[in-house]
Amino acid sequence: MSAHYTVHPGRPMPPVQAEPFHQWVFPDGSLWTQFYRQGAGYLLRFPELADFEVSADGLSVQGWPAPGVTMPTVEHLYLNQVLPLALSRQGKLVLHGSAVDIDGQGVAFLGESGRGKSTLAASFATSGTRFLTDDGLLLDWLDGRCMILPSHPSIRLWQDSQDALMHPDAATAAPVSFTSKARFMAGPGVAFCDAQRPLACVFFLGQGDVHTPRIAPLRPAEALIELVKHSFLLDIEARDMLARHFDDLTRLAALPIYFRLDYPRSYAALPAVHQAILRHTAEKSAKAKPHESV
């Protein structure tokens, strides 16, 4: 699932007369993204980087780099920021999370930026357990089961995770101008699953202030709050889409698959984290029946 994407030559960013109806800001207060209504669609502006026009139905996206911004930078913004928002306008459910394929079951990791979602997915992928997605978790229902759809076959990592997990010869995409994260492509040594998998477990990542891995179940009401926090949604004021989105999340939250996962933020601890996740997933699979439509 995607959108029809067209990228144009670079241009200076034209002034916008209207005020943005929403914006994303980094924890330090710096501006990241401005959301504008433009005709029947939307303008997403990443200041000094690129503009993206998204159609009202999310099926079409056009991108304009700012002068001097490279095409890999624009593609990076499209794949990781704009496309999940466009999919939300198509009525798709997209969460800010990563996922891996464990014995044919989809296991997802959700959490705030910096909690280690990508690092955890990459640590599995470099150990032979295939990853399904990094950062944009696209879900759909098939025959009453919630399925994870695979996304772009790449994982983005900070330098310390690169050094700890990646082989020096691992294939990378071209660097981008606004982050030191590198995008590692699936291939030898970075296992990728290109088929959809049933969603079996969702782990919400804790802060890391523990000495050993800990897994605790979440009630549906707690899971719903977390799912709302980690959703991609382009227009938070569109009542019809907002109502549908909340219905989708409520249906999803009713599944008995949610857990809080906390573990030491140490690369040396990752094998123990793997074992805890694998053991928990195996035990849950042994007890569970296939999810029925709810």
Tens digit of each residue's pLDDT (9 = 90 or more) over 93-117: 999 999 999 999 999 999 988 888 9
Torsions phi, psi of 37, nearest 5?
-90, 135
pLDDT for the residue numbered 90? 94
42 φ/ψ angles, rounded to the nearest 5 degrees: -140, 150
Q: Which residues make Cβ contacts (< 8 Å) with residue 141, sequence separation at least 6?
A: 147, 293
Percentage with pLDDT > 90 across the chain = 80
CA distances for 161 relative to 18, 99, 179, 267, angstroms? 41, 17, 14, 8
Q: How many angstroms separate the Cα of 75 from the Cα of each of 1, 130, 195?
A: 17, 24, 23
Closest to 66 (Cα-Cα) out of 44, 86, 42, 46? 46
- Is a pLDDT exceeding 90 seen at residue 2? no
In this prediction, residue 102 carries a pLDDT of: 97
Least confident among 22-36, 186-200, 212-226:
22-36
Q: Give the percent of the chain with pLDDT over 70.
A: 97
Sign of CA dihedral 114, 120, 125, 127: positive
Give the model's pLDDT for residue 91. Answer: 92
Give the CA distances from residue 129 to residues 107, 192, 200, 278, in Å, rounded to whole numbers and listed in that order.
Answer: 11, 8, 15, 11
- Does the pLDDT of residue 293 top 50, yes or no? no
Tokens 């399904």 belong to residue: 132
